């Protein structure tokens, strides 16, 4: 995929900015108060920090990842990959980046000769994840790839194989796995403090106000399910600690003349232990919640997947965890695992598991909401 093709993606408007503005403000507050930041681990190996290059300088990289990496102990911003010369100049000045550490999408493969860059964080649109993950792997660079991992399960498998063949590590950007309240949800799934989990209700969406974004285009692997929908899917899986055995799904549109891809998607999952999960996502309204109902009580996070301000309570008390910079913890732990040759918390296989379910969701919708085995 050449530079001009990527620019067609890169020049689109990121229309969820207004919805996550509150979360961004929270991250800025957190960055101003390092005492409440808890990066994953200190570098006990005695090795240098690992250099990370951000690929794709849209909203998430600019407003969230770049400030967050300044808080890391085990990694630092060493370079960038962008198709926009003005951004290259701006970032070079702001972050004091070396000219030889700035790449575009055509000369990206030359990064193989750059010893200062150890990790490439792929933050380009969904349809480009596979190509650039594989190119990074062939260049001998470890990869942190944003979610959803790829367009389909087959692409995920190709990415996993490429990283293994080139002896580099692959992690997927599921930042919530590094967030304390979410980690408590995972513990509760394992220890069952409230008995068996009977039902989960979860949803994530925002009110899309600008319709020229690639997120609204079907052929570009946009749509609610491939954007916000991965959050409730992930929540259902980590809230049970199980993989779903069946799915049914429906999709709806309020503004079909403006949003080409799915605007609203609802899906239901059943798990081996009997738990049923009702999940929803959309570009039509702002919502973000996770509720878990058990035989002896309940617990919830609201919001459950925002950049900051995750709040939890339960039928017996409240969650009392400090707010953290999710992205800093994520990037720091990835670097630490690479340096210390430890297993990744979130491997490529985790992204594959989601796309296997997403494919069944698409299939169920195509068959009028039919319940399908996974």
Whether residues 193 and 253 share a domain: the answer is: yes
Q: Rounded to 5 degrees, what are φ and ψ at 330?
A: -60, -55
pLDDT in tens, 60-84: 999 999 999 999 999 999 999 999 9
Q: Tally the domains of the chain.
A: 2
**At 142, which CATH number?**
3.40.50.720
pLDDT the model gives residue 222: 81
Whether residues 304 and 365 share a domain: the answer is: yes
Whether residues 238 and 158 share a domain: the answer is: no
Three-state secondary structure readout of the chain = CCHHHHHHHHCCCCCCHHHHHHHHHHHHHHHHCHHHCCCCCCCCCCCCCEEEEEECCCHHHHHHHHHHHCCCCCEEEEEEECCCHHHHHHHHHHHCCCHHHEECCCCHHHHHHCCCCCEEEECCCHHHHHHHHHHHHHCCCEEEECCCCCCCHHHHHHHHHHHHHCCCCEEECCHHHHCHHHHHHHHHHHHCCCCCEEEEEEEEEEECCCCCCHHHCHHHCCCCCCCCCHHHHHHHHHHHCCCCCEEEEEEECCCCCCCCCCCEEEEEEECCCCCEEEEEEECEEEEEEEEEEECCEEEEECCCCCCCCCCEEECCCECCCCCCCHHHHHHHHHHHHHHHCCCCCCEHHHHHHHHHHHHHHHHHHHCCCCCEEC
pLDDT the model gives residue 218: 75
pLDDT the model gives residue 25: 39
Locate 18 and state its tokens.
Answer: 């207004």
pLDDT the model gives residue 47: 56
Buried b / exposed e over 105-138, threshold 16 CB at 10 Å, is beebeebeebeebbbbbbbbbbbbbbbbbbbbbe
Q: Which candidate, 102, 114, 39, 28, places its Cα nearest to that of 66?
A: 28
Domain that holds residue 276: 177-322+353-373
Residues of the chain with pLDDT under 50: 1-45
Whether residues 34 and 149 share a domain: the answer is: yes
**At 298, which CATH number?**
3.30.360.10
pTM for the full predicted model:
0.89
pLDDT the model gives residue 32: 32
Whether residues 186 and 171 share a domain: the answer is: no
Whether residues 67 and 131 share a domain: the answer is: yes
Whether residues 189 and 89 share a domain: the answer is: no
Whether residues 182 and 312 share a domain: the answer is: yes
pLDDT the model gives residue 212: 79
Cβ contact 104:57 at 8 Å: no
Whether residues 251 and 369 share a domain: the answer is: yes
Give the chain's end-to-end CA distance (angstroms, integer): 33
Whether residues 96 and 160 share a domain: the answer is: yes
pLDDT in tens, 100-146: 999 999 999 999 999 999 999 999 999 999 999 999 999 999 999 99
Whether residues 109 and 148 share a domain: the answer is: yes
Taken in order 130, 134, 137, 141, the sign of the CA dihedral is negative
Report the distance separating Cα 207 and Cα 173, nearest Å: 23
């Amino acid at each position: 995929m050449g530079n001009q093709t990527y620019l067609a993606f890169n020049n689109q408007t990121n229309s969820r900015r207004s919805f996550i503005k509150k979360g961004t403000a929270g991250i800025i507050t957190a960055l101003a108060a390092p005492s409440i930041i808890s990066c994953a681990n200190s570098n006990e190996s005695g090795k240098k920090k690992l250099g990370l290059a951000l690929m794709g300088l849209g909203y998430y990289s600019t407003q969230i990842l770049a400030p967050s990496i300044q808080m890391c102990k085990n990694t630092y911003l060493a370079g960038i990959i962008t198709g926009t010369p003005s951004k290259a100049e701006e970032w070079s000045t702001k972050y004091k980046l070396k000219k030889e550490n700035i790449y575009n999408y055509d000369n990206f493969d030359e990064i193989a000769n750059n010893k200062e860059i150890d990790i490439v964080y792929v933050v380009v649109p969904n349809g480009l994840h596979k190509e650039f993950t594989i190119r990074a792997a062939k260049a001998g660079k470890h990869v942190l790839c944003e979610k959803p991992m790829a367009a389909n399960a087959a692409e995920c498998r190709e990415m996993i194989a490429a990283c293994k063949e080139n002896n580099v590590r692959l992690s997927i950007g599921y930042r919530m796995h590094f967030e304390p309240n979410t980690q408590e949800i995972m513990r509760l799934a394992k220890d069952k403090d409230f008995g068996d989990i009977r039902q989960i209700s979860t949803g994530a969406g925002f009110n899309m106000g600008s319709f020229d974004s690639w997120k609204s285009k079907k052929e570009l692997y946009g749509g609610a399910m491939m954007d916000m929908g991965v959050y409730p899917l992930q929540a259902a899986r980590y809230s049970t600690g199980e993989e779903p055995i069946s799915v049914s799904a429906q999709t709806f549109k309020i503004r079909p003349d403006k949003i080409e891809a799915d605007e609203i998607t609802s899906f239901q999952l059943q798990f081996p232990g009997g738990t049923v999960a009702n999940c929803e996502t959309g570009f039509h309204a702002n919502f973000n919640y996770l509720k878990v109902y058990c035989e002896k009580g309940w617990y919830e996070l609201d919001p459950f997947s925002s950049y900051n301000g995750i709040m939890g309570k339960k039928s017996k008390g409240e969650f009392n965890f400090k707010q953290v910079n999710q992205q800093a913890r994520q990037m720091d732990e990835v670097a630490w695992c690479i340096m210390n040759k430890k297993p990744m918390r979130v491997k490529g296989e985790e992204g594959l598991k989601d796309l296997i379910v997403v494919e069944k969701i698409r299939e169920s919708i195509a068959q009028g909401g039919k319940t399908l085995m996974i």
